[in-house]
Structure 1
Amino acid sequence: MTDLKKIFHSFGINDLLNASTSGLLLFKEDRSNTGGGVKYVCTVDNAAAKSLTGWESLAGKNWDDIADVELLNEELLPRQDLEIYFKQSNTWCRASNVPVDAHHFMCTLTNITPRKELEKREALVKNILHDAEQTMQFGSWVWDLENDKLEWSDGIFSILGYSPAEMATMEASYPLYLTHVHPDDVQQLDEAVKNSFKTKASFSVEYRIMTVQGEEKYLVSRGQFNDGDHTRAATSIGCAFDLTSIKSIQNELERKVADLNRSNFDLEQFAYVASHDLQEPLRKIVSFGERLELRSKGALNEEMGLYLDRILNATRRMQDMINNLLEYSRVTRSREGFKKTDLNQILKSTMSDLEIAIQRQNAQIEVEDLPVIDAIPSQMSQLFMNLLSNSLKFTNEDQTPLITIQSDRLSKSDQLNYGLPANREYVRITVSDNGIGFENNESSKIFTLFQRLRGRSEYEGAGIGLAVCKKVAENHSGIIMAYGKPSEGASFTMVFPISQGIRVS
């Protein structure tokens, strides 16, 4: 007897069975039941079989009890390979049944749970992709370039207008796809695809297709070339997106922009008329009214004099409103270019212009160092002029006016909070005062043209200054916000990009 035989015979049969990682079950034919049918009873098992099935003991149990699977023909059992789920162990197994003799068969259980879980995940991913394609209106493809085998997802067929029944019988191919491409766009798409293969680069191309139903759609296809090696073929992988609804919205937006541009042109024409045709009659009314007032002193009674005063005052207010409207129009229509602008110099010049008002109010102005940004200098002057003028105007009688001007650079989280793009750098400038303030729920109103929170009898002005500030902020791709509290003051926060992303002088 060889050494191997000595080793083999040193173990019992149970030791050999239990050494296997596969479940092993020996079944014996049993015809003793009163129904006359055939049953198979387990006579031998191993440890792996107990672990895989979740049973502590299998000997003496029928196949139906163990597998919980109803067989259509029990006579065929010894020749069946089954995939079985065992609830007690939460395990999937492949049961391979091999006849031993006319009355016995051996069942081998192999754990296939990892494969089943993978299939489940793949099915889930496939369902998610299908739902995403239907929702977002796109389809995917994989093109085996070496074997010229093209596979589409259902999304491509759906975009082309094919029904689910047609999808099941059709085979994807590049020539079939080209039959749906608009004749004027076939060359453009074909050149982009072939150039991608030649240069081994990605591609992106917009084009039109005609669906099975004859509907024209706008698509964009983006493909990625994947070079092959000795283990896999070169492939092109990509997606086709249906842009039809986006194109429709884009066309509608372009139409509305054109309408808006026409309206802006009409507004510019109105501004021209206001600056010339309307101003001249008003100047004559004021001029002749003042002459009448001068020459009729003592000749007009009190009531007539009151009427004349009202005529002159109303006409002068109309002149002021037109001048203010023209100021707003100039900001709106400004063609002045952006320049690297030191806001410290702009503020210094503005404070010089307001020197008399600052001294008269005995106001204190505290200024931090301001940044250099891409800006239109004249509009920045208007911005600071209007904000400082408001702070000097709306003051508490029993309090020395205090104005603070602060600046800092926005963090990325702050940009996100303001709804600003993360790919640009922004600065924040805050102008605060200790004046009469306002109710915070009125903060959005104060930027409206000719909007006043206080009566004309209390404070002079036309209510246009903050509307100009808002327009300046918009012209600089920035934002302006106001915060206030009655009797405690107001604060105006402006956010501007440091660079406009264009060439500046």
Structure 2
Amino acid sequence: MRGSNDGIWDWNVLTGEVYFSDRFKELLGYGPDGFENVYESFESRLHPDDLDQTKAAIEAHLNERVSYDVEYRLCCRNGDYRWFRARGLALWDDDGNATRMSGSISDVTERKRAEEDLLRRTEELERSNKDLEQFAWVASHDLKEPLRAVSNYVQLLERRYRDALDDEGRRFIGFAVDGAKRMRVLINDLLAFSRIGTRGKELAPVDSGKPLATAVKNLALTIRERGAEVEAEPLPRVWGDGIQLTQVFQNLIGNAIKFCERNPRIRVSAAKEGPMWRFSVQDNGIGMDPAHQKKVFEVFQRLHTRQKYEGTGIGLAVVRKIVERHGGRVRVDSSPGEGSTFSFTLRACE
């Protein structure tokens, strides 16, 4: 019993006498003669908030033979409370009356503290996410209004005074209109990124072929204009949010088309890896240096100038955030001039 590091107790229900092992008393900071071997020695040390539920658990075990496995706090010799897990089993006479109950206690203070710390951090994170979403909404609203005014007045200026402007003046107005348009897209992308963790649906079984089909449909015009081909193997059922998975496929396929100089060819497949499915989106695009492969999943990270490839630099960050919300991981394998394979994992739905 000593080797288990648990404290042992043996309670005579009829007399109220209790045997507390030396280890039991040691766990509370006492020596072998630290307190009396009676039930009151235990009950008097229970934390007030744990007293009623502990007594109820004991009564349920003695009278209804419900399993006794509880956690409570006991006051130690130094006045501090520590958490313990208690398990026990009673003996009953022929009339069904409990006569004796024996069991053990284990110190679980560190685990409880870790759980409480995790709960606190989770609550703080939830508050932070809500604050972030609220900030993003307010910021986007406050930014959109003046941006809309700037865009409208610049376009009005262009229409009314176009003939009075020289080529350079018209070019400057074009820069202003284009800048306002890019800012509007950026604000919308940032708002969408901030909402991924809070606006997603509860994960449910999803036929992953359906989000892919929706993504391809949404990209139909781009696919046709670029002469792209998208091939897909039969895809499995997974746990997911169908709308967010559509966004993942759409961003990855759109990215593959954008970064292919001619005749984009994209292949989508999936392979089982233990409890997960690994999805791959393979393309014949320009590829990238392996040194940049982690960087591309960060917000605002661009490997090329905006003049060559337009975009906000948020698309792959959205992919990463959605996949991580689903409990998966995303990566890219690529070499310059040899295309890229973006892969991500999702939990299998049997």
Residue 236 in 1 paired to residue 99 in 2?
Answer: no
State which of 296, 308, 332 in structure 2 corresponds to 1:446: 296
* Distance in 2 of aligned mates of 1:225 and 1:404: 64
Question: CA contact under 8 A between 2:7 and 2:27: conserved in structure 1?
Answer: no
Partner residue, 1:347: 212
Contact 1:226–1:237 (Cα < 8 Å) also in 2: no
* 2:264 and 2:283 in contact (8 A); partners too: yes
Partner SS state of residue 237, structure 1:
strand
The reply to whether residue 394 of structure 1 matches residue 270 of structure 2 is no
Question: What is the CA distance between 1:462 and its match in structure 2?
Answer: 0.6
User: What's the CA shift for 1:142?
Assistant: 5.2
1:408 matched to which residue of 2? 271
Counterparts of residues 29-428 of structure 1 (less than 5 Å): 126=2, 129=4, 133=5, 139-141=6-8, 143=10, 150-152=19-21, 154=23, 156-162=24-30, 166-167=31-32, 174-200=39-65, 202-224=67-89, 236-243=102-109, 245-300=110-165, 304-397=169-262, 400-411=263-274, 425-428=275-278
Coordinate RMSD, CA, aligned: 3.3
Q: Pick closer, same or farther for the CA change 1:159–1:278 going to 2, 3 Å.
A: same
Contact kept in structure 2, 1:201 and 1:224, CA below 8 Å: no
Supply the AA of the counterpart residue of 1:492. F
Distance 2:254 2:268 in 1: 14
Note the C-alpha offset of 1:301: 5.0
Task: Indicate the structure (1 or 2) with the bigger Cα radius of gyration.
Answer: 1
Tell me, in whole angstroms, the C-alpha distance in 1 between the residues paired with 2:128 and 2:335.
38
The offset of 1:169, in angstroms, is 7.5
Percent of pairs with identical residues: 31
Partner-residue secondary structure (3-state), 1:406: strand
Residue 155 of structure 2 aligns to a residue whose secondary structure is helix
Unaligned runs of at least 5 residues, structure 1: 1-124, 134-138, 412-424, 501-505
Q: How far did residue 391 of structure 1 move? A: 0.9
- Distance in 2 (CA, whole Å) between partners of 1:444 and 1:157 is 55
For the structure 1 residues 186 and 273, does the alpha-carbon distance in structure 2 shift closer, same or farther, using more than 3 Å as the test?
Answer: closer
Unaligned runs of 5+ in 2: 94-98
Q: State how far apart, in whole Å, the 2-side matches of 1:339 and 1:242 are.
A: 35
Deviations 1:440-499 (A, max 9, x none): 343332222222122212211111111221222233333323322222222222222235
Distance 2:56 2:203 in 1: 42
Structure-2 residue corresponding to 1:51: none
2:133–2:195 CA contact under 8 A, matched in 1? no
C-alpha separation in 1, matches of 2:92 and 2:347: 43
Aligned length: 343
1:369, CA displacement in angstroms? 0.8
Q: Output one character per residue of 1:323-367: Cα deviation in whole Å (capped at 9) or x when no partner.
A: 212332343332545454322222223223323333443333331
How far, CA to CA, are the matches of 1:277 and 1:336 in structure 2? 27
* Stretch moving more, 325-334 or 486-495: 325-334
User: What amino acid is the match of 1:179?
Assistant: S
**CA 247–169 in structure 1, closer or farther in 2 if over 3 Å, else same:** closer
Match of 2:96 in 1: none
**Helix, strand or coil for the counterpart of 2:320?**
helix
The whole-number CA distance in structure 2 between the counterparts of 1:495 and 1:391 is 19
Task: Tell whether the 8 Å contact from 1:201 to 1:225 is kept in structure 2 after alignment.
Answer: no
| Letter aligned with residue 408 of structure 1 | A
1:276 is displaced (CA, Å) by 3.4
TM-score (norm 1): 0.59
Instruction: Identify the structure with bigger relative contact order (alpha carbons < 8 Å, sequence gap 6+).
Output: 2
